[in-house]
Amino acid sequence: MTGGRMAIRPRKWLESKARERVARQWTALARGVETLTPARLRNLRDEALGLRGDLDRFLVGTDRRAARSRAALDVLHLPGGTDWRWRLGLMAGRISPRGLAGPENGDRLGDGTAVWHDCPERALILEQLTSTGATDLSPFAVRLEVFGFAGSFLSLSVDLPASALQGLTRSHVLRLETGILAERALNVYARLNIGHGPNIDDLTEQLHGLEPGLYSQQVIEFDLAYTQMNEKRLEKIWLDLIFEAPRMNAVEIRELFFSRHLRAEF
């Protein structure tokens, strides 16, 4: 059988089959745990704990490897002259607690992310998910589930770190990469807010192409030349994701990645 299946790395095929056999054995043991003798139960429990330790170490190693790979990919596609980049904390690492059910207006999930709404029933769920897509660069995602929404506004606000303001000028372009999946058609707007002294400047862009059930990846660029920000009095910068008519919808935000670069001057 040259050129057939057995010619394609038979050792790996045998290893895979061995792992499948072990998994079936543990599944059968779990189902029959009530029938095991105390001595057999103790021995198997010790064996299971050792196996779980090995699996946990393997998973930690894969998480670290994936994080390094994602960081390398982040750098590859950034524009030349990029001098700052940052991913939302909710998407970069695990948080606890991982969700909010029926949040009050202004409740926070993780560090620097808040949900704003005026729904009297608080018919919302906001939670962190583990990313599973082969093309996902963020280790985690955020899911916002909206039920019988009776309010007039719904948004998520994301506080950018102080490092985003260091050296920031009106010659910069702030770049936002998004990856969003919505169950139903939805209008989403991204509003960048910059606080300088007593004033706040904002720039708003609409995310286009959000078709029901289709994952949409987009890049938005905020050109700070269109603001009147005082570069010497910068105090705060944050993003609002605004959801228009969100009733009976579920939205997964799989990417919110920020970077900045200087505008090309002509």
pLDDT level of residue 5 (50, 70, 90 thresholds): very low
Q: What is the mean pLDDT of the chain?
A: 84
12 and 125 in one domain?
no
pLDDT level of residue 169 (50, 70, 90 thresholds): very high
Give me the pLDDT at residue 66, please: 53
135 and 227 in one domain?
yes
212 and 125 in one domain?
yes
Residue type, 85: R
Boundary (domain end) residue, out of 37, 53, 76:
76
Give me the pLDDT at residue 10, please: 73
Q: Structural domain tally of the chain?
A: 2
150 and 252 in one domain?
yes
Peptide bond into 97 cis (omega under 30): yes
Give me the pLDDT at residue 203, please: 97
Q: Which tens digits make up the pLDDT trace of 209-218? A: 678 888 888 9
User: What is the domain range of residue 178?
Assistant: 82-262
Per DSSP (E only), the strands in the chain are 82-87, 99-101, 113-117, 124-130, 140-146, 154-159, 172-182, 187-196, 199-207, 216-223, 234-244, 249-262
- Rounded to whole angstroms, how far apart are CA atoms 190 and 21? 50
Boundary (domain end) residue, out of 43, 76, 109:
76
pLDDT beyond 50 at 73 = no
pLDDT beyond 70 at 75 = no
The enclosing domain of 226 has a CATH number of 2.60.120.260
pLDDT level of residue 144 (50, 70, 90 thresholds): very high
Give me the pLDDT at residue 69, please: 46
Q: pTM to 2 decimals?
A: 0.70
Per DSSP (E only), the strands in 50-147 are 82-87, 99-101, 113-117, 124-130, 140-146
**Contact (CB, 8 A) for 78 and 151:** no
Q: What proportion of the chain, given as a percentage, has pLDDT over 70?
A: 85
Give me the pLDDT at residue 2, please: 44
Q: Which tens digits make up the pLDDT trace of 32-69? A: 888 888 888 888 888 888 887 777 676 655 555 555 44
Structure token pair of residue 23:
């998994």
pLDDT beyond 90 at 11 = no
Q: Which tens digits make up the pLDDT trace of 245-260? A: 898 999 999 999 999 9
